[in-house]
Structure 1
Amino acid sequence: MEVLWLAEGLASLAVAGVLLTAVFAHITAAKLPKLHRHEDEKFFLSAEDKKQPVPSIHDPPTRELSVVVPSYNEEERLPSMMDEALDYLEKRQKQDPAFTYEVIVVNDGSKDHTTKVALKYTKKYGSDKVRVLPLVKNRGKGGAVRMGVFISRGKKILMADADGATKFEDIEKVEKGLESLQPWPNQMAIACGSRAHLEKDSIAQRSYFRTLLMYGFHFLVWFLCVREIRDTQCGFKLLTREAASRTFSVLHIERWAFDVELLYIAQCLKIPIAEVAVNWTEIEGSKLVPFWSWLQMGRDLLFIRLRYLTGAWKLETRKDN
Structure 2
Amino acid sequence: MISIIIPAYNEENRLPYYLDSILQYLEQKKRIYEILVVDDGSTDATAAVVKRFMALNANVKLIRLPRNRGKGFAVKTGMRQAVGRLRLFADADGATPIEELERLERSIEAGADVAIGSRALLSDACSVKARMHRKLIGAVFNTIVRTMAVRGIRDTQCGFKLFTAGAAARIFSLQQLDGFGFDVEILCIAKRNGLYISEIPINWRDVKGGKIRLIRDSVSMLFDVIRIRINELRNKYAIERMGTLQGEPRK
TM-score (norm 2): 0.90
Q: Does 1:315 align with 2:245?
A: no
For this pair of structures, how many residues does the alignment match? Answer: 237
Shift of 1:202: 5.5
User: The residue matched to 1:147 in structure 2 has which SS?
Assistant: helix
Which structure 1 segments of 5+ residues have no match?
1-63, 94-98, 183-188
Who is 1:122 aligned against? 54
**Per-residue Cα deviation, 1:194-247 (whole angstroms, up to 9, x for no partner):** 1113699767x424xx55533321121011111111111111111000000000
SS of 2:156 mapped into structure 1: coil
* Aligned twin of 2:184: 260
The equivalent of 2:100 in structure 1 is: 170
Contact 2:76/2:172 (<8 A) preserved: yes
In 2, the alpha carbon distance for the partners of 1:283 and 1:201 equals 12
What is the aligned partner in structure 2 of residue 206 from structure 1? 132
Q: Does 1:71 align with 2:8?
A: yes
Aligned: 1:137 with 2:67? yes
Aligned letter for 1:113? Answer: A
Which structure has the bigger radius of gyration?
1
Does the Cα contact within 8 Å between 2:128 and 2:203 map onto a contact in 1?
Answer: no
Residue segments in structure 2 that go unaligned for 5+ positions in a row: 241-251
Residue of structure 2 in register with 1:291 after alignment: 215
User: Would the aligned equivalents of 1:181 and 1:274 in 2 still touch at CA under 8 Å?
Assistant: no
Matched letter for residue 197 of structure 1? L
* Greater share of residues in helix: 1
- Cα 1:79–1:297 change in 2 (3 A) is same
Residue 149 of structure 1 and its aligned partner are, at CA, apart by 0.6
Q: Is residue 2:90 matched to residue 1:160? A: yes
Question: Which residue does 1:235 correspond to in 2?
Answer: 159
Q: Which amino acid aligns with 2:229?
A: R
Q: CA contact under 8 A between 1:67 and 1:102: conserved in structure 2?
A: yes
SS in structure 1 at match of 2:137:
helix
The CA deviation at 1:132 is: 0.4
Percent identity at matched positions?
39
SS at match of 1:150: helix
Cα shift readout 1:43-77 (whole Å, capped 9, x = no counterpart) = xxxxxxxxxxxxxxxxxxxxx10000000000000
For 1:226, the aligned partner's letter is V
Residue type matched to 1:206 in 2?
M
Q: Secondary structure of the residue that 2:230 maps to in structure 1?
A: helix
Q: Which residue of 1 aligns with 2:247?
A: none
Q: How far off its partner does 1:315 sit?
A: 2.4
Q: Quick check: 1:301 aligned with 2:238?
A: no
SS, match of residue 85 in structure 2: strand
Pick one of 41, 48, 53 that aligns with 1:109: 41
CA RMSD of aligned residues (A): 1.8
For residues 200 and 193 of structure 2, the distance between their equivalents in structure 1, rounded to whole angstroms, comes to 21
8 Å CA contact 2:170–2:239 kept in 1: the answer is no
